[in-house]
Amino acid sequence: NAGVMQNPRHLVRRRGQEARLRCSPMKGHSHVYWYRQLPEEGLKFMVYLQKENIIDESGMPKERFSAEFPKEGPSILRIQQVVRGDSAAYFCASSPNLQPFSGNTIYFGEGSWLTVV
Amino acid sequence: TQLLEQSPQFLSIQEGENLTVYCNSSSVFSSLQWYRQEPGEGPVLLVTVVTGGEVKKLKRLTFQFGDARKDSSLHITAAQTGDTGLYLCAGAGVSSGSRLTFGEGTQLTVNP
């Protein structure tokens, strides 16, 4: 887990508010992934980004969710008008190259736990 | 949709016993990873297997990738209390590119 930094680690939002989760990948990594882990469920892919590009957002809910990875600064996962069902752990991961699963390593951060009250 | 089924979902054993966790799918994966996750933390990669039939060992842990690259197993020899945790398998699909499909995990408890 060393190197992938996520903040905040814990976030409480009231229904209807916005949540912003940040992820700084490991040094030298230009590929970022976001996964969501709902209570008592496995991790589900949300989105894959490279600098200034969304490569695959097939796992993102169509509404209220967006992600970006700007040229400078961390990747941000933004959830607008949060609802109780958005309560989950959101994990960011990073990898150094185009094909991270051909034997190369993907590193996960420690997660951001969102609670919607 | 690719699915990975892990079994058993829960496993409670005594220290010193051996155990095997299974990860099965009807889909072919280009690679498969095993992770361990502690409460309140992110998954930590244990191993990646890429070649059908591949076997990798990590101290007391042995990982195997099925010949057809549809299934995998994790075997722990002489379990220790420190092995307690959630074990997750995750597959990278042949056509899904960067997406990992995760199993729902096996919660292992090793009792002293």
State the Cα torsion A86-A87-A89-A95 to the nearest 10°: 10
Start-to-end Cα distance in chain B: 40
Cβ pair B42:A103 closer than 8 A? no
Distances (CA, A) of A8 to A61, B60, B102: 22, 36, 24
Kindly list the residues from chain A whose CB atom is less than 8 angstroms away from the CB atom of residue B97: 48, 56
- Note the pLDDT of residue A1: 47
- Note the pLDDT of residue A113: 96
Distances (CA, A) of A53 to A32, A60, A68, B76, B106: 10, 15, 8, 41, 35
Amino acid (one-letter) located at A91: F
Q: How far apart (Å, rounded) are the C-alpha atoms in residues A11 and A114?
A: 5
Residue B99: closest CA among B9, B7, B25, B31: B31
Coil vs helix vs strand at B24: strand
Please, what's the largest Cα pairwise distance for chain B?
44
Please answer whether residues A111 and A90 qualify as being in contact, where contact means their C-beta atoms are separated by less than 8 angstroms: yes
Neighbours of B29 (CB within 10 A): 30
Q: Which residue of B has its CA nearest to A46?
A: B99
Task: Return the DSSP state at B103.
Answer: P
Q: What is the pLDDT of residues B12-68, one digit of tens each?
A: 999 999 999 999 999 898 889 999 999 889 999 999 998 999 999 999 999 999 999
Residues of chain A with pLDDT under 70: 1-2, 97-105
Q: Is A57 near chain B, with CB under 8 Å?
A: no
How would you class B62 by CB atoms within 10 Å of its CB: exposed for 0-12, middle for 13-18, buried for 19 or more? middle
Asked if residue B107 has pLDDT above 70, the reply is yes
Q: Which residue of A has its CA nearest to B96?
A: A56
Start-to-end Cα distance in chain A: 29
